[in-house]
Structure 1
Amino acid sequence: MNKSEFKWPITIYYEDTDAGGVVYHSNYLKFFERARTELFRHHGVSQQVLLEKSVGFVVKSLTIDFIQAARLDEHLIVETFITEIKRVSLTFCQLLVNSEGKVLCKATVKVACIDNSKMKPIAIPSFILSEISCDR
């Protein structure tokens, strides 16, 4: 696994499900957001560090494909891959995978880097790029 790949385990709790016992659709976005946060943290770039440096990431675009429902008490993995690094944006491919390796949900998320104090796009700082860039 190179620096652009990250796997984060999750368990589906009652609070994640709807009346039918399947994960409510908006909760998939929460799982993916948390996995992106944990990818950064894994590489030493915590939310606190970003706040202190007035750097943020905002979702610019998102596509999501719900393939099969996740259910209560399932143990799943969110696989996160950085597929594109540009001057002010990152693109992620994220998969929610069950214990048999079946992809239940897939998302492509593009985030833009901003200066939190000005709410304007900025180049991704070098301290972030050096931590998340692929090992090649």
Structure 2
Amino acid sequence: MTHEAEFRIHYEDTDMAGVVYYANYLKFIERARSDALREAGVDQRAMRESGLVFVVTRVEADYLSPARYDDVIRVETTLKELRGASATLRQAVFREKTPLFRSVVRFACMGLEGRPLRMPAAARAALEAL
């Protein structure tokens, strides 16, 4: 399964040339990742209340082509790997069929004190749906 999220590029997302500022791609994929987890059934608020959070531990990013002011972009999110305390997702940004950005994002399940912990079974099952 691939989760898809669409966003319109706003003026605040761009630099003086009207091109999306490179760091904003990380914000777009974060929003899409949060939406994908929520729609898959991962309740991150409930996890936090039980003392668990997801923390991004690694990002690989490839910038392929620029997005510009007023473009509509689509972020596709798919599961690459699921381990005991972590997951790795592939995320790609497109304008229609044109690839703009590719990333591989690993995140870990951590306790509030910062130690890695096994992911809850419900979160693992929800992620497997991706």
TM-score class, shorter: over 0.9
Q: For residue 49 of structure 1, what is the amino acid of its counterpart?
A: A
How many pairs are equivalent? 130
Aligned pair partner of 2:118 in 110, 120, 123:
123
Matched ranges for 1:66-81 at <5 A:
66-81=63-78
1:50 CA displacement: 2.4
Which structure 2 segments of 5+ residues have no match?
Answer: none
Question: Residue 25 of structure 1: SS of its match in structure 2?
Answer: coil
Paired letter, 2:36: L
Identity percentage of aligned residues? 34
Q: Alignment partner of 2:119: what SS?
A: coil
Q: Which runs of 5+ in 1 are unaligned?
A: none
Q: What is the rounded CA distance, in whole Å, between the counterparts of 2:92 and 2:47 in structure 1? A: 25
Distance in 1 separating the partners of 2:36 and 2:46: 14
TM-score of the superposed pair, with normalisation by structure 2: 0.94
Q: 1:39 corresponds to which residue?
A: 36
| 8 A Cα contact 2:5 2:32, kept in partner | yes
- From 45, 48, 57, give the equivalent of 1:48: 45
What do residues 74-129 of structure 1 show as CA deviations (whole Å, max 9, x unaligned)?
A: 01100011100011111011000111x1110001111111012x210001110101
Quick check: 1:95 aligned with 2:95? no
Match of 1:24? Answer: 21
TM-score, length basis structure 1: 0.90
- SS of 1:28's equivalent in the other structure is helix
Match of 1:61, SS state, is strand
The question of whether the paired residues in 1 share the 8 Å contact of 2:64 and 2:100 is answered with: yes
Q: Distance in 2 between matches of 1:47 and 1:121?
A: 16
Off by >4 Å, runs of 4+ in structure 1: none
Deviation at 1:47, TM superposition (A): 3.2
